[in-house]
A and B are shown apart, each in its own frame.
Chain A
Amino acid sequence: MSLSISTTINGTTRDIALDDPRVTLLDLLRERLGLSGTKKGCDRGQCGACTVLVDGRRVNSCLTLAATLDGAEVTTIEGLAQDDALHPVQAAFIENDGFQCGYCTPGQIMSALGLILEGEAGDDPERIREGMSGNICRCAAYHGITLAVQSATRRMDAEQKGDAA
């Protein structure tokens, strides 16, 4: 059975024919669309490496069937930087040593962006750690990750206030 979906990925709308409804969003991105920035850790919802935004909300792409995404808007790590300018969350991860090996990092950054958009944690480190608990880091770069999310939150808040002014 062939299914087709029309999905916007990083701003570009694509008509995708799915030959098999078993394909997850994670496998669609990595294996079929060449977007290998999103990582596969556990493939079971337990690590957060596969985090992307769907309609602006962070989800685990390994548990999302691609067939459910007709009409959805997906943002992956590849969609964050504007030309040569890093997204504030990306820049904050670099400035604060928010990683070591880097494998979990795309998922951490997408999750951090989702958390900041949710607007619940602010720059409170305890709320940030709780809000980021769905992203496991084997290198235990957690201290830098928390600093990075704090700093990105402040920067994005300031930018928003600047825009509003």
Chain B
Amino acid sequence: MRPFDFVRPNSVAEALAAWEPGAAYLGGGTNLVDLMKTGALRPGRVIDITRLPDLSAIEVAADGSARIGALVRNADLARAAEILRAYPMVAEALLSGASGQLRNAATLGGNLVQHTRCAYFMDAHAACNRRDPGAGCDARGGAADNMAILGHSPACIATNPSDLCVPLVALDASVEIAGPDGGREMPLAAFHMLPGDTPSEATALRPGELIVALHMPPGAADFAHHARYLKVRERTSYAFALVSAAAAFRMEGARIGAARLTLGSVAAKPWRIEEAEDLLAGQMPDDALFARAADAATAGAAPSNDNAWKIELARRTAIRALKMAASGTPDRMPALPASPFGALEAPAHV
């Protein structure tokens, strides 16, 4: 690990003032410290933000909106009764990610900003345009499982690995940011960037900016009764997704009033599919409808390496997530969150 200096600010203003080019904010460190060990990241200064006051609250309002502080640990967010009640698929996604130990350390802000798990990005000796603009991309012709099938570019084919961000994008979450030039708020859907010619710009954060909170809009809780996250991975736990999907309905009687569908681990950002959502709205839920929505979800997908199979897997994952959402949010978090091995009843409660 390259030497760095370590600072412990006690306020957001002090944290912003401590920032200098090449500095990194430290949340739980589960991603930053790992990448500093491999040499993929080499900050000259590490700014420990875990002591900043007032960034650890979860406030859900009566209209279904919420403000969640950036320092809330992933485990605390997943266990919070108000989150389980209002946004159960957010809790399910969190609990399907990483391990008990990592979730205790990982922060909300850190999860939003976490870097790709592309093995060539993480290996400081490999060529990577994302880490080192213009260096080339050693992933081409190499690993396929966690590479993109949507929105990739000649410069970069990596995916965003976050489980949490998939249901958050489905629910129209937005990010509150503090920065040297003041504060701003932006939709999470616009926060992660597709690679284009500039894969090093992974997020919309400008130099020195700090995430202070996440907002859920009013109405996000209306999807709570039919909301599921499904994660297909190489083993049932402690593995990143090959493909995942967040699916949710707001039912109006027996019909789907509004639908949300977002795929994970298929692109450099959570892949929201509004065409599929429009196609589902106003319809009676059934398998043929879900198949048409899933076709819309993967329209335009193309392999980036030897991963054409991910396109069919994504289609099937979308269908199954829609069926799970139709059959209703379970009363208790399943023993294996987001698992394809859970029981799937017929869409009875719709």
Chain A residue with minimal CB distance to B35?
Answer: A44
Which of A6-14, A31-39, A110-118, A147-155 binds B?
A: A110-118
Q: At the interface, yes or no: B253 with Cβ under 8 Å from chain A? A: no
A58 touches B101 (CB 8 A): yes
- Which residues of the other chain, B, contact A127 by a CB distance below 8 angstroms? 335
Instruction: Tell me whether A64 and B105 are in contact in the complex, defined as CB-CB below 8 angstroms, given that A3-B6, A48-B99 are known contacts.
Output: yes
A43 touches B6 (CB 8 A): no
Q: At the interface, yes or no: A83 with Cβ under 8 Å from chain B? A: no
A134 touches B3 (CB 8 A): no
Cross-chain pair count, CB within 8 angstroms: 92
Interface size of B in residues (CB-CB distance below 8 Å): 31
| Range, interface on chain A | 35 or more
Interface readout for A94-128 with B: 1 if CB under 8 Å, 0 if not? 00000000000000000100110010100010110
Option from A21, A45, A59, A134 in Cβ contact (under 8 Å) with B5: A21
A134 touches B238 (CB 8 A): yes
A58 touches B100 (CB 8 A): yes
A67 touches B48 (CB 8 A): yes
B100 touches A21 (CB 8 A): no
In the assembled complex, the Cα of A58 lies from the Cα of B238 at a distance in Å of 16
Interface readout for A45-59 with B: 1 if CB under 8 Å, 0 if not? 100100100000111
Q: At the interface, yes or no: A157 with Cβ under 8 Å from chain B? A: no
A120 touches B79 (CB 8 A): yes
Minimum distance in angstroms from A146 CB to a CB of chain B: 13
Instruction: Tell me whether A45 and B104 are in contact in the complex, defined as CB-CB below 8 angstroms, given that A1-B6, A67-B6, A68-B50 are known contacts.
Output: no
In the assembled complex, the Cα of A50 lies from the Cα of B250 at a distance in Å of 44
In the assembled complex, the Cα of A9 lies from the Cα of B37 at a distance in Å of 25
Minimum distance in angstroms from A72 CB to a CB of chain B: 10
Q: At the interface, yes or no: A78 with Cβ under 8 Å from chain B? A: no
Interface residues of B in 63-121 (CB under 8 A from A): 75, 79, 98-102, 104-105
- Which residues of the other chain, A, contact B1 by a CB distance below 8 angstroms? 22
Which of B25-33, B213-221, B312-320 binds A?
A: B25-33
A43 touches B37 (CB 8 A): yes
- Which residues of the other chain, B, contact A21 by a CB distance below 8 angstroms? 4-6, 46
Minimum distance in angstroms from B83 CB to a CB of chain A: 14
Q: At the interface, yes or no: A76 with Cβ under 8 Å from chain B? A: no
Q: At the interface, yes or no: A20 with Cβ under 8 Å from chain B? A: yes
Q: At the interface, yes or no: B186 with Cβ under 8 Å from chain A? A: no
Q: At the interface, yes or no: B135 with Cβ under 8 Å from chain A? A: no
Chain B residue with minimal CB distance to A55?
Answer: B104
Instruction: Tell me whether A60 and B79 are in contact in the complex, defined as CB-CB below 8 angstroms, given that A3-B6, A67-B48 are known contacts.
Output: no
Beyond A68-B29, A134-B98: 7 further Cβ-contacts under 8 Å? A1-B6, A45-B30, A60-B30, A64-B105, A111-B101, A133-B237, A133-B238
